[in-house]
Amino acid sequence: MSSFRIICVLSLFGLVFAAFRIEPAHEIEIIGNKFFNSSSGNQFFIRGVAYQRTRKPGEIYDAEIETSYVDSLANPSMCLKDLEFLKELGINTVRVYQVDPTKNHDVCMNAFSSHGIYVLVDLSEPQKSIIQTRPSWDVDLFKRYTDVVDSMHGFTNVLGFIAGNEVLNKVENSDSAAFVKASVRDVKNYIRDKKYRRIPVGYASADDTLTRLESANFFVCSDNNTESAVVDFYALNMFEWCGYSSYATSGYKERTIEFSQSPVPVFFSEYGCNAVRPRPFTEIDSIYGPIMSQVWSGAVLYEFFQNENRFGLVDENAVGHIIKLEDYNIVKLRLVESIPRSIHRDEMPGSYSFSLKCPAISSSWNSSHILPPTPDDGICDCLQASLSCVVAPYTRVNFHELIREVCSKTDCREIMTHGSTGVYGKYSGCSPMTRASYALNKYFIDNHKKPASCDFGNRAALTTSFGALGFRKTHIADGRTCEEILASAPDEMENKSESIAPNPEEVMSTNVDHLKSAAQRPGMWDLLMVSVFIISFMYLAT
């Protein structure tokens, strides 16, 4: 080979390397309805894959100290092994559905960042999420969401937080949208108040025919002074393109037209119909083609690991070895061939502002633009301190079932929510346990504070509450007193603060019966001894 030909070949390799070189993950910013690399100014397109291990069927783990999900980003031996396959695949983003905020993610997140891989982080987890059939936005959920933000905000390759995934998927549960939007508002405000970098917060929607457009409009509308509740991006789980479909016949054309005027970035948060196997992934050419790339900011393929639903690109055997499946190589080739047409941020208009009217209640939409209030631990702590009949300690209780049962016998409007009308009870933002205790106490008062009415199958117990003065001087975790909270809290709370406890003998007699019952349950003896000691000390002290 002549020296001239060698130089030509080396030059060609240099051009290819330059085109596909991996740069560290700089922060991604939003200008108008597009993502941009904050360093280069180039438009950013998501070339992603859903990345979430699941526990194997029948897998044994300690639920007391382990999560029900697997957080691969907190396990370097897992994520670094996976990283080699993710790099080869040619993706620049992973979506993780659950992370454990108590764990350290430095090694994995920094390794992903050094290879130009961004992370979309869902804020919820299976036991703490907004549930479509009984939606709420309460202190427990808010803490879960902010814990995740606290643990992940420091990584520049966090592309965004997802505040909900397909929470509403039909007209009948579209009232849950108000609760998701409230979570977006409060997480965005939390990020601002903590002076973290401005990490985008958005929502991943179901592709439901009836609610698709109303949902998209709802999450970007700003009625009732809800500008802070507008999502920074909106995503769609999209499985309409199956096999060798086309842009015109799959539904992609209609969706692109519908979302062409979106004021915020839009992308597919899941895609990859598996009705045809192996999946040909012909939709990738369209997603990153000249038409769709003008509207959509990329897509997240579902999914990396093989599970029972058979959407995986790789399989992981019993000893942890990764095995590429046929779909893996197909996706890899499709992504290499699909380079979207991008623009530079300097080509965008100079200023952006929009104000859209929220969709009205109709046959295809049932969520009010009036959102639930921000959950306040102080109000809930003071409420709990004022109650005399509460959920029994050391007892396994399904709080939602207990609330439903008790509230069929007493007025529980103060802990109820109605996303369709925008009416939210004064204490609806409290935890399920506090709401259940409120209901029990309300029933107890309705029945003239008779000790027998504080039972509900040993799920309720009497406790000594503070007198009115003691209640108001009670300090809560954030340093405020209930007296300070009462100044801005609902009027009814002060009425609840009056001493409503029965006499100590009634409390002791009734709770001893509860303890006897508890002693019959396996594993309760140690807790029983602690309870007896605490109660004895409390009464000896008085």
d(CA 106, CA 104): 6
Nearest to 188 by CA among 138, 147, 229, 136: 229
331: tokens are 């996706």
Q: In which element (H, E) is residue 517 found?
A: helix 504-519
Strands 233-238, 266-271: pairing is parallel
348: tokens are 């965008």
Active-site residue, 414 included: no
180: tokens are 């998701």
> Among the options 270, 303, 316, 414, which is catalytic?
270
Strands 314-316, 233-238: pairing is unpaired
DSSP 229: G
d(CA 28, CA 42): 10
Phi, psi of 78 (to 5 degrees): -80, -55
> Among the options 166, 240, 483, 506, which is catalytic?
166
d(CA 325, CA 397): 44
Active-site residue, 88 included: no
Helix (H, G, I), strand (E, B) or coil at 343: coil
d(CA 3, CA 482): 84
Helix (H, G, I), strand (E, B) or coil at 24: coil
184: tokens are 């977006």
Catalytic residues, which ones?
166, 270
